[in-house]
């Protein structure tokens, strides 16, 4: 058990660092690790608890550049759909949803690389983005890459992007936690694992914040797009 916990902590640290730099990716890549260690029905709620601490730390570290109105509109859509998705977790066709999301992410990157980037979305568009993210995140554990193209198209980069995405995700994960509790998925094992992995996620977020302040906007966007491709491949592989 100790070896399993150490492996999970190392993965949580590394992927919290990744999330702190790119704004997403940690949850997507951490889910297959947690699933291999704990099983899917434990992995998804444990992942949510670790993401709570990771996102809360990113909100605090990037609070001065955070776009609160944008995060608020995202929350309007995310909260009800996150609760609904959490209640549906036991019966939803997860494999098909993952592959569909993988195709979408690859299409977004190809579209951006062709220079045909979408226009700047309106702030109220993020209500719909939040709804899709809330439902997908509750079912798949994490869909941070789904929101990335919209935040990039809005013009956010580096600390503003990371902080705003984290604030939006924080309310989403709080809603999922409530839904998992109502569905009876937050047992003693899940709560203990979530608490044990919190220090590693906080440390990873702090190190990542130091890194993101040292890179250019161009490098930042390239890292985000690389993360989108990696996440898409993970989803298409069905992990």
Question: pLDDT tens across 49-88, in order?
Answer: 888 887 888 888 888 888 899 889 999 988 888 788 777 7
- The pLDDT of residue 101 is 66
CA 19 – CA 162 distance, rounded (Å): 8
Structure tokens at 69: 């109105």
CA 208 – CA 75 distance, rounded (Å): 25
With beta carbons less than 8 A apart as the criterion, state whether 77 and 127 touch. yes
What percentage of residues in the chain have a pLDDT greater than 90? 1
- The pLDDT of residue 116 is 58
CA 168 – CA 159 distance, rounded (Å): 14
Of the listed ranges 115-129, 184-198, 208-222, the least confidently predicted one is 208-222
Instruction: For residue 127, name the pLDDT band (cuts at 50, 70, 90).
Output: very high
CA 105 – CA 187 distance, rounded (Å): 33
Structure tokens at 76: 């309007």
pTM > 0.85: no
CA 46 – CA 191 distance, rounded (Å): 7
With 80 as the cut, is the pLDDT of residue 128 above it? yes
**Token pair 């719909």: residue:** 128
Show Cβ contacts of residue 148 under 8 Å, excluding neighbours closer than 6 positions. 22, 23, 24, 165, 224, 227, 228
CA 50 – CA 61 distance, rounded (Å): 17
């Amino acid at each position: 058990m100790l070896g399993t916990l150490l492996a999970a902590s190392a993965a949580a640290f590394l992927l919290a660092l990744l999330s702190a730099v790119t704004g997403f990716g940690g949850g997507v890549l951490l889910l297959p690790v947690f699933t291999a260690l704990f099983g899917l029905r434990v992995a998804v709620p444990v992942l949510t608890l670790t993401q709570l601490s990771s996102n809360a730390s990113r909100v605090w570290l990037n609070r001065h550049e955070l776009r609160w109105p944008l995060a608020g509109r995202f929350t309007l859509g995310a909260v009800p759909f996150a609760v609904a998705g959490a209640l549906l977790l036991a019966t939803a066709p997860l494999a098909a949803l993952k592959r569909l999301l993988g195709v979408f992410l690859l299409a977004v990157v190809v579209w951006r690389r062709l220079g045909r980037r979408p226009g700047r979305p309106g702030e109220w568009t993020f209500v719909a983005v939040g709804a899709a993210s809330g439902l997908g995140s509750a079912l798949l554990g994490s869909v941070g890459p789904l929101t990335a193209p919209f935040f990039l198209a809005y013009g956010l980069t580096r600390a503003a992007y990371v902080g705003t995405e984290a604030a939006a995700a924080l309310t989403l994960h709080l809603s999922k936690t409530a839904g998992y509790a109502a569905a009876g998925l937050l047992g003693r094992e899940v709560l203990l694992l979530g608490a044990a992995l919190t220090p590693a996620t906080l440390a990873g977020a702090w190190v990542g914040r130091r890194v993101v302040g040292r890179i250019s906007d161009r490098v930042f966007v390239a890292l985000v797009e690389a993360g989108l491709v990696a996440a898409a491949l993970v989803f298409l592989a069905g992990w």
